[in-house]
Amino acid sequence: MGFKSGFFACLLTAYSIASEELHGAVQHEPSGSTDPLKTSSNPAAKPSVNFSFEAYKFEALILCVLIVYGIFFVKGRAVNMKIFEQIEQVVTDVLRENFTDLAQPLGKTLERDSVSDALFWASGRRNCQSLNGHLKPRHDLIGLATSILESSEDFMKIEISLNDKAPDFVFALVPKNKHRTVLKSRFDVGAFAKPIKVEDLGEKFTAMSEHSDFLQGLKNSNLFTNFSQSDCLLSELYITDQPQYKPTAIPFFQNKRLIAKIKIPQLDSNGVDLLKNTIEYILYLVDYTCNDMNIRPELVNKQKKVRQEAYKDLHQQAEKQKKDEQTKIALEKKKIKLESFERLSPEQRRKAEEKLRTKEEKKRIKKRSTIRA
């Protein structure tokens, strides 16, 4: 729907610009002649139109861009649909072994949420709340150009929402040439994690974590050994309890999740087995994170302080908004009380003033008694 509305909006804009300029190109007969015979000799004369392609270069450019965008959308959509069809059976086989119930009401395990996103329908597995998949946005010309600059390979990104048993921590494992970009683009990694050297990882990847304790725990899951293998399909991995982008206000939605970026291999017999093993390992990592990752109590307290400091500005903003609302309510109450006071008769006003003075005097006496005590 976004593509259609954007396409027709641009087309309508180009058409309106072209119409205005075409109208401006219409030139009538000169009206400077004062000869009445000449003026009335051909009263039904039609205006002449001078059309020049040079005057419509901008409109032609817009039209070409729309055509190219349309071609990329149709072609990219077809390619992504084909990839989804190829990997659906592979993913279904893995999910069938790990989940109790599969398929949505229409009988499909994979529901295409958009041209490049899909939701895997599966339930009945501990530690896992939801499972989403994403492909390269081939239908989006700008998104495709960005992804091509990053890599020419096809990837599938799987995002799994974890349950509350997973500990609170931020961890990232990314290609070494991309770790600076990740630190800047992801709030959770940039604010809470730092690069830490891991001997078993090799030189192609960089691990970033809140504390070295987490690395030791993940090392026991063979994570770094798997990443260092030449045929490993895993390209990036994130385990986080914080939002990817910094919130603008509190409270904000917060969920623990594991995100894995997987290379899509040639789906022959070897490639299918490798993809299945990779997805199964990710599900194993979900269980390992929720059941076997232990954090020392003193480290938990330290994390809480770090998180409070990271959102200090949001807490100050919320406190200021709360005070402003309280001040506004107090002013409204004072205004209402003043208006009601002005509507009183002189006698009623005198009694109200006397009652108010008595109340203030009681407050002062109580305050003096408290200070003496």
Q: Where are the domains of the chain?
A: 53-150, 165-312
Biggest CA-to-CA distance, the chain: 114
What pLDDT score does 209 carry? Answer: 93
Concatenating the DSSP letter of every residue in 50-119 gives ---GGGGHHHHHHHHHHHHHHHHHHHHHHHHHHHHHHHHHHHHHHHHHH-SEE--TTS-SEEESSSSEEE
What pLDDT score does 242 carry? Answer: 94
Distance separating alpha carbons of residues 93 and 301, to the nearest angstrom: 42
Distance separating alpha carbons of residues 43 and 336, to the nearest angstrom: 75
What pLDDT score does 108 carry? Answer: 65
What pLDDT score does 98 carry? Answer: 85
Q: Would you say 128 and 160 are in contact if contact means Cβ atoms under 8 Å apart? A: yes
Q: Would you say 118 and 93 are in contact if contact means Cβ atoms under 8 Å apart? A: no
* β-strand pairing of 171-175 with 234-240: antiparallel
Identify the three-state secondary structure at position 169.
Answer: coil
Q: Would you say 256 and 164 are in contact if contact means Cβ atoms under 8 Å apart? A: yes
User: Cα–Cα distances in Å, from 205 out to 184, 227, 229?
Assistant: 17, 8, 12
DSSP state of 200: G
pTM equals 0.68
Distance separating alpha carbons of residues 348 and 159, to the nearest angstrom: 69
Q: Which residues of the chain, if any, have pLDDT below 50?
A: 1-6, 22, 25-41, 139, 141, 144, 148-149
Count of other CB atoms within 10 angstroms of residue 285: 21
106-154 pLDDT, tens per residue?
A: 566 666 666 666 667 777 788 877 676 666 555 454 554 555 445 557 7
What pLDDT score does 373 carry? Answer: 58
What pLDDT score does 296 carry? Answer: 85
Interacting residues of 80 by C-beta distance below 8 A, sequence separation 6+:
115, 116, 135, 136, 138, 139
Distance separating alpha carbons of residues 283 and 97, to the nearest angstrom: 11
CA angle at residue 362 from 356 to 368, to 5 degrees? 140
Interacting residues of 97 by C-beta distance below 8 A, sequence separation 6+:
280
Distance separating alpha carbons of residues 196 and 189, to the nearest angstrom: 13
3-state DSSP: the chain helix, strand, coil percent, rounded to 5? 55, 15, 30
